[in-house]
């Protein structure tokens, strides 16, 4: 556990500069356990600390681990160019905490997107050495055939890749839909693999990372939630 002054607590949680946080406190806009605190030098244990800013409740978090159900036409970039960035779907203070996407989804790809301000977590989740499976549901332009599934499982050769890339598993979900499990996380990998196998991806959704399923979180598109310890542990679970 650690004990911090109130201005430092607000600053670490993304509410602005130390000076701005002191002004918030002096103006009576911050409360602890329902009581307004106006002395920025007041110190509190951060473990489990709950506080309010402008009557909105918050809990102190050393790091943020969240999952967003990404809608289409949002870019996974802190400096988007053609579409709004995914950070615009989150509270403003998250950007001040340097929250960033863990990996990227194309602007037209939907589904599970992890985001954090913990550099070690981001690196671990992004590292190909961890072999974390990611599950996608792809809608295809042409019908899904057993030959297509076999081709994706057997491996397809992509431009600029030294060896063929194969799906960990692949199964048909409907006449124009399949579930594909990958570990590599190459650029546009699902779309490029489908194209190399003779089909075309018309829609793509990431439905699961490790053992954590998007459906189990109950998030509508554009919604997000914090991840608890149990959910974080599921992220490294192998695909059955």
Annotated catalytic residues are 106
Integer Cα distance of 52 and 5 in angstroms: 15
Distance of CA 59 to the CA centre of its chain: 20
Here the tokens at position 230 are 């149990």
Backbone phi and psi for residue 195, each to the nearest 5 degrees, phi listed first: -65, -40
Q: Cα separations (Å) of 184 from 75, 127, 143, 160, 161?
A: 21, 9, 25, 14, 12
Strands 110-116 and 201-209: parallel
Q: What residues pair up with 58 in beta bridges, in sequence order?
A: 51
User: What is the signed CA dihedral for 120, 128, 237, 66, rounded to 10 degrees?
Assistant: 40
């Amino acid at each position: 556990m650690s004990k911090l002054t109130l201005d430092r607590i607000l600053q670490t949680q993304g509410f602005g500069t130390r000076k701005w946080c002191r002004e918030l406190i002096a103006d009576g806009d911050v409360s602890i356990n329902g009581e307004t605190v106006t002395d920025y030098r007041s110190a509190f244990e951060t473990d489990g600390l709950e506080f309010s800013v402008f009557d909105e409740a918050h809990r102190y978090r050393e790091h943020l681990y969240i999952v967003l159900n990404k809608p289409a036409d949002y870019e996974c970039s802190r400096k988007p160019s053609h579409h709004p960035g995914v950070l615009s779907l989150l509270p403003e203070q998250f950007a001040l905490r340097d929250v960033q996407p863990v990996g990227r989804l194309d602007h037209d790809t939907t589904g599970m997107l992890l985001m954090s301000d913990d550099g070690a977590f981001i690196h671990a989740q992004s590292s190909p050495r961890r072999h974390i499976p990611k599950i996608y549901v792809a809608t295809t332009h042409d019908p899904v055939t057993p030959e297509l599934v076999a081709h994706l499982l057997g491996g397809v050769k992509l431009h600029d890749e030294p060896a063929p890339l194969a799906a960990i598993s692949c199964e048909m979900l409907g006449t124009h839909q399949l579930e594909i499990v990958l570990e590599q996380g190459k650029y546009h990998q699902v779309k490029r693999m489908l194209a190399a196998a003779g089909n075309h991806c018309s829609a793509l959704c990431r439905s699961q990372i490790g053992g954590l399923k998007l459906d189990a979180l109950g998030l509508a598109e554009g919604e997000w939630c914090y991840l608890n310890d149990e959910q974080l542990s599921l992220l490294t679970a192998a695909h059955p």
